[in-house]
Amino acid sequence: MKKADPKFKTTILEVVNTQLKSGDPPETRQTFNRLIGEGISEEAAKIYIGQAIVVEIFNILKHGEVFNLGRYRKNLSRLPKDTSE
């Protein structure tokens, strides 16, 4: 499997950090805290959350959709499992 572009990864993690700092949406912080509580490292928790963000970016770029907050929340709730929906 090909590794992610480091610049893309940095950008996604910036989005995660912004959501965590702003508390918007609140589910991002809730998911982060839940993952940490499950013994996942802070870095890994942010990467998992980033996966849910990437799903939204993919659907915006590939299918011309708008950001789907409901799907994003649902994918956050599934972490650390698959977020491919």
Number of domains in the chain: 1
What residues contact 71, with CB distance under 8 A and at least 6 apart?
A: 55, 56, 59, 85
Query: Does any domain span residue 85?
Result: no
Query: What band does 84 get if pLDDT is binned at 50, 70 and 90?
Result: low
Residue type for 62, please? K
pTM of the full structure: 0.88
Averaged pLDDT score across all residues of the chain: 93
Range of the domain at 51: 6-16+25-78
> Which of 82, 79, 66 lies closest to 36 in space, CA to CA?
79
Query: Does any domain span residue 30?
Result: yes
Query: Does any domain span residue 1?
Result: no
Query: Does any domain span residue 48?
Result: yes
Residue pLDDT, tens place only, 12-40: 999 999 999 999 999 999 999 999 999 99
